A and B are shown apart, each in its own frame.
Chain A
């Protein structure tokens, strides 16, 4: 039997590998956040249990303390539900390779799922999305993969306090997504756009990358 690590055929990337890697990155980040939610709820209920078991026959927990515990549990339950809802929407985006969907709603969901990755770098995401639907017939999963790749590139050189702006517009039968973040400055990493270009070309879209005033601006356009 040939060991997989020595067999170069097994190391070659299949066309779906980058999509799987994208899904893996998102689910790993989301599952970590869900674990945090459960850990908080676990310790908070543990705290309540401590109070009840230590209080004797007549349980007297100060109402302020009880209110704080209940609020914490409610907040974490809401946080967990919002994460699961976003993850569910994201998972279903891979159901159809081509369908009609609202890009704004899809990007809003993607921003919610990727906020933690920005937070880990001390940065934040700011989505400027229109209130009216921007519909497109395309592959929703690939579109998210492309925008995520652009966000990742913008985050590459992000420092504490940086903001990555995500904007959506529509003109001349094209849907345009712009991701704007910190650019290449001394002692930061170079950015490789090849992965993004590969994803965009599969969607018959275009990518245009601009560097100006130490900002990196990635313009993605997709046929609407």
Chain B
């Protein structure tokens, strides 16, 4: 499988810079965004296997960012990484379409494990979408 690409969205820029560097050291490609708005702009220009998203951010919080990201691409694999982890918030995040929910400070190996799972899921979704498109074309042609 190709190198996993990840976008880390957090207003604590020292946190995202350190975690991005650690991921790069482990063979991933990692970019950072310090706001939901910046992350949404970055998604227009690049595709990511996983997005690590903080919950409490100025202006546009994690939930709103999640909603807008999934409106942009419903197959995005978004993992919440937050210091405000409660069961209620975790359930809410998953209901809104997050694939996972982790508490800060997070173990890097566990986080990379989640990113790898997200990458596999993304590949699976891509293949399913491709298969559906092929079936539609074949149906239209009466095959």
Q: Which residues of B contact A160 (CB under 8 A)?
A: 59
Most buried by A among B15, B22, B59, B106: B15
Q: Which residues of B contact A46 (CB under 8 A)?
A: 18, 22, 108
Distance (whole angstroms) from the CB of A90 to the closest CB of chain B: 20
| A36-B18 contact given A50-B25, A160-B59, CB 8 Å threshold | no
Distance (whole angstroms) from the CB of A88 to the closest CB of chain B: 20
Interface string of A96-136 (1 = CB under 8 A from B): 00000000000000000000000111100000000000000
Interface string of A42-60 (1 = CB under 8 A from B): 1110110010001000000
Most buried by B among A32, A35, A43: A43
| A42 to B21 CA separation, bound complex (whole angstroms) | 13
| A46 to B22 CA separation, bound complex (whole angstroms) | 8
The answer to whether the Cβ of B27 comes within 8 Å of any Cβ in the partner chain is no
| A75 to B56 CA separation, bound complex (whole angstroms) | 21
| A32 to B56 CA separation, bound complex (whole angstroms) | 9
Contacts of B73-103 to chain A: CB distance below 8 A = 83-84
The answer to whether the Cβ of A76 comes within 8 Å of any Cβ in the partner chain is yes
Give chain B's interface secondary structure class: loop
Are A39 and B104 within 8 A (Cβ)? yes
* Number of interface residues, chain A, beta carbon within 8 A: 21
Task: For chain B, give the interface size range.
Answer: 10 to 19
| A75 to B12 CA separation, bound complex (whole angstroms) | 13
Distance (whole angstroms) from the CB of A178 to the closest CB of chain B: 25
> Chain A: residues with CB nearer than 8 A to chain B?
32, 35-36, 38-40, 42-44, 46-47, 50, 54, 72, 75-76, 119-122, 160
Of the A-B pairs whose beta carbons lie under 8 Å apart in the complex, a sample of 26, sorted by A's number, is A32-B83, A35-B83, A36-B12, A36-B83, A38-B104, A38-B105, A39-B12, A39-B15, A39-B83, A39-B104, A39-B105, A40-B12, A40-B14, A40-B18, A44-B14, A44-B18, A46-B18, A46-B22, A46-B108, A47-B21, A50-B25, A120-B56, A120-B58, A121-B58, A121-B59, A122-B58
